[in-house]
């Protein structure tokens, strides 16, 4: 798959997920894509906690609200963490969050390329997730994503393509050539 195709195909899953295990080689490829992301001063502030196994996922799901229980469906759940104290921004704009965003998008595109589903989720009980996963206090638990195959019963290539037709603002609404008003 070409990069542009993966960009077009990636979508936060609106399908059900399969418990089919993600092969270790695929997991490694996806994490490697995240590892290669750029970061401010090359600080690479990210840590990824990979949660697998029904029991561990069920326990972690307690940190998620009713509307985000999709996290229970897949075979793998990844929690993305970083320390605020590693932030190198001069103030105002926390660079480490940009760094995490870039790493996560790399991870998403690699997953799409390998036929895996992802879904960024930020709304969860951070303290509860930190406690369950024994993440050190100084780390923020910023984002969660399932990494899983789509459930076969719900998988239909045409339907997935259709889901990929996103609601996005027109380019004209967000691009300013030269000056803002143009």
Ligand X SMILES: Cc1cc2nc3c(=O)[nH]c(=O)nc-3n(C[C@H](O)[C@H](O)[C@H](O)COP(=O)(O)O)c2cc1C
Site for ligand X contains 29 (CB under 6 A): no
Q: Which range touches ligand X (CB under 6 A), out of 17-25, 48-56, 121-129, 145-153? A: 121-129
Q: How many amino acids of this chain bind ligand X (CB under 6 A)?
A: 8
Q: How far is CA 50 from CA 40, 75, 128, 170, in A?
A: 24, 10, 16, 36
Q: Which range touches ligand X (CB under 6 A), out of 21-29, 72-80, 115-123, 125-133? A: 115-123
Q: 61, 121, 129, 132: which one contacts ligand X (CB under 6 A)?
A: 121
Q: Which long-range contacts (CB under 8 A, 24 or more apart) does 82-87 make?
A: 82/45, 82/46, 82/47, 82/139, 82/140, 82/142, 83/45, 83/138, 83/139, 83/140, 84/138, 84/140, 85/138, 86/43, 86/45, 87/45
Q: Which is nearer to ligand X, 21 or 163 (CB)?
A: 163
Q: 68, 98, 102, 125: which one contacts ligand X (CB under 6 A)?
A: 68
Binding site for ligand X (CB under 6 A): 11-12, 68, 120-123, 166
């Amino acid at each position: 798959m070409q990069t542009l195709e993966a960009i077009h195909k990636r979508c936060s899953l609106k399908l059900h997920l399969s418990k089919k295990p993600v092969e270790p080689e695929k997991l490694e490829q996806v994490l490697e894509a995240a590892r290669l992301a750029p970061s401010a001063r090359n600080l690479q502030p990210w840590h990824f906690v990979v949660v697998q196994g029904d029991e561990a996922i069920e326990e972690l799901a307690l940190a998620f609200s009713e509307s985000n229980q999709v996290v229970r469906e897949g075979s793998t759940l990844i929690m993305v963490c970083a320390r605020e104290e590693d932030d190198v921004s001069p103030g105002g704009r926390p660079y480490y969050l940009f760094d995490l965003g870039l790493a996560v998008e790399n991870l998403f595109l690699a997953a799409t390329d390998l036929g895996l589903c992802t879904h960024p989720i930020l709304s969860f009980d951070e303290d509860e997730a930190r406690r369950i996963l024994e993440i050190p206090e100084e780390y923020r638990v910023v984002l969660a994503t399932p990494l899983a195959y789509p459930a076969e019963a719900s998988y239909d290539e045409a339907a997935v393509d259709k889901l990929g037709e996103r609601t996005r603002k027109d380019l004209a609404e967000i691009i300013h050539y030269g000056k803002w008003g143009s």
